[in-house]
Structure 1
């Protein structure tokens, strides 16, 4: 028995020494072109963010189109779920969902028993996904559920959650258990479901888009591309995806950026060793990537040339990227 305890003690000591000797490695580029400053300030600090927008501490809203005017503001417990030309979808942490017009009038409101993870609206149809993986399709004029369906139970989820996607006659719902549900928009009937990934943890859909006749959906582990001819898959540790015309930019957790066509055929790749990608977007003829340790990477769309700029801050708090700006804390940077 004494010998067993001795062996356990030795193994424990080796484990502790090994753990203490492990050092996190960070992105340290050899060539940095210039330092880029956040030259513009926000009216207030960022309070909450989502993939589609941010709420400032003073209640003002930042959408993909930029900061909205002072005419509309929200309370501090509000999360912006989505924004369209004339509608803003928000929810409180306790499930109070509101659709607001940009002239501040409330167009629709309903309280749910839990938080809303993602939402989208098209005309009088509202699609949403709750924190317990229930999908709803709601007629906002009649205030009735066209569809209420609970998918599989989940235990953990990624903070990135794709929004439902409206097509002419269909709604595509991204679930939290790695599926997409294709629903008839007018009847609220589930026509088909597709399993993107069957992982047990952190398996929600983080990306969903439709380009021409091709649908792309992804979790943090797998991408599925569905077109009329076939279904294609890509497996990997995925941080983010950016779609641009007939191309996909797959940003991976190991610092690689993979460029593919819509059939997931590799066109090019570039590796930024140990980079932690925070946000990314295409603008004009470039791909812009924000790296968490405080770098801006600007690459051409073919990933053949790139520049790296040092930001004047690490990205260690809430941030949001719009169509043309990167917002962080109480300041922002114009991408150009």
Structure 2
């Protein structure tokens, strides 16, 4: 009986594995990778950058030669100042230490005002000049989060705080009062804000399940299972879990879309056209007008950590510039 149970279990396991399906394009091209090495592997990353195993970091400015203090990881780079955290109770703004008594998961600096999102889902504004907390608000605790946590956004005389429970809290940068509470996603478990940007005076924000657009007092909301989201000019590009790559305008109206059966997209980037890195070792390239596409063979281990900024994609210990 024991041997029979083992045999049945093995058959069930084999059947489950054999049914797993992968993206397998028929016609592929050779990719001229022309990659360049990074000094170390990526150890961790967020929406605004990555920390390397040797203590250096990657931001939208590229790979920095600056080394973070031991035990600290990169959060953001604003106004030439490096913000890092010990993922416990302190952050550093360059060499200035700030005791937070909780782990900071996202931060943005403007004119010596530091906007923070904490792991307990509290948000705060801190004045670096006199060391005072100008604003702090506690929100509902979030037990599970996507690691692509968006950072606060300074917009004119407003601070937009993305929360871990799917909201955007709009705070006045003049009197530090809450002006508006925008709900992006109140339903899903992993509903922290993973993307926050302002495109042509229109707020674009997304969780892993929903995306919203707020402009001219009009709210648009769409539901997608998102793998990645980027903007280029006034166009928004989405990669979904079911293998779709979608182009929308800033009101989230679908302009074009393509479906790649069983594709698992890791990251999007934009050079002169759109690129999507696929988990089974392919790079999908779609023209800006979505009329033509090319699929390249691309050496890639899906265990590698990936982050992209503009036309540059960083993969583990190397990077490539995409045309």
- Cα 1:325/1:264, change in 2 over 3 Å: closer
How far is the alpha carbon of 1:182 from its aligned partner?
0.2
How far is the alpha carbon of 1:37 from its aligned partner?
3.6
| Equivalent-residue separation in structure 2 for 1:14 and 1:228 (angstroms) | 61
Q: Contact 2:227/2:267 (CA < 8 Å) preserved in 1?
A: no
Unaligned 5+ segments in structure 1 are: 1-12, 101-105
How far is the alpha carbon of 1:161 from its aligned partner?
0.9
Aligned to 1:58: 54
1:178 aligns with 2:166: yes
SS at match of 2:266: strand
Aligned to 1:99: 93
| Equivalent-residue separation in structure 1 for 2:251 and 2:280 (angstroms) | 33
| Equivalent-residue separation in structure 2 for 1:185 and 1:229 (angstroms) | 20
How far is the alpha carbon of 1:141 from its aligned partner?
0.7
1:83 aligns with 2:71: no
Q: Over aligned residue pairs, what C-alpha RMSD do you find?
A: 2.1
How far is the alpha carbon of 1:288 from its aligned partner?
1.7
Kindly report which structure 2 residues correspond to 1:273-284, keeping only aligned pairs within 5 A, or say none.
273-283=261-271
Q: Deviations over 1:126-153 (max 9, x none)?
A: 1111111010111111111111111112
| Equivalent-residue separation in structure 2 for 1:290 and 1:111 (angstroms) | 39
Aligned to 1:303: 290
| Equivalent-residue separation in structure 2 for 1:333 and 1:290 (angstroms) | 12
Higher RCO (C-alpha 8 Å, min separation 6)? 1
Q: Contact 1:99/1:109 (CA < 8 Å) preserved in 2?
A: yes
Aligned to 2:44: 48
Q: Deviations over 1:263-318 (max 9, x none)?
A: 211111001111111111222x3112222222222211222212122222323122
Q: Deviations over 1:142-187 (max 9, x none)?
A: 1111111111121211111111110110000100101100000122
Provide TM-score, normalisation by structure 1.
0.87
| Equivalent-residue separation in structure 2 for 1:109 and 1:38 (angstroms) | 40
| Equivalent-residue separation in structure 1 for 2:8 and 2:219 (angstroms) | 48
Select which of 259, 275, 281 maps to 1:288.
275
Aligned to 1:134: 122
Select which of 25, 28, 32 maps to 1:32.
28
1:203 aligns with 2:205: no
How far is the alpha carbon of 1:15 from its aligned partner?
9.9
Kindly report which structure 2 residues correspond to 1:245-264, keeping only aligned pairs within 5 A, or say none.
245-264=233-252
1:194 aligns with 2:188: no
1:226 aligns with 2:220: no
SS at match of 1:21: helix
| Equivalent-residue separation in structure 1 for 2:79 and 2:302 (angstroms) | 29
Q: Contact 2:47/2:195 (CA < 8 Å) preserved in 1?
A: no
Aligned to 2:15: 21
SS at match of 1:315: coil
Aligned to 1:145: 133
Aligned to 1:10: none
Aligned to 1:9: none
Aligned to 1:332: 319
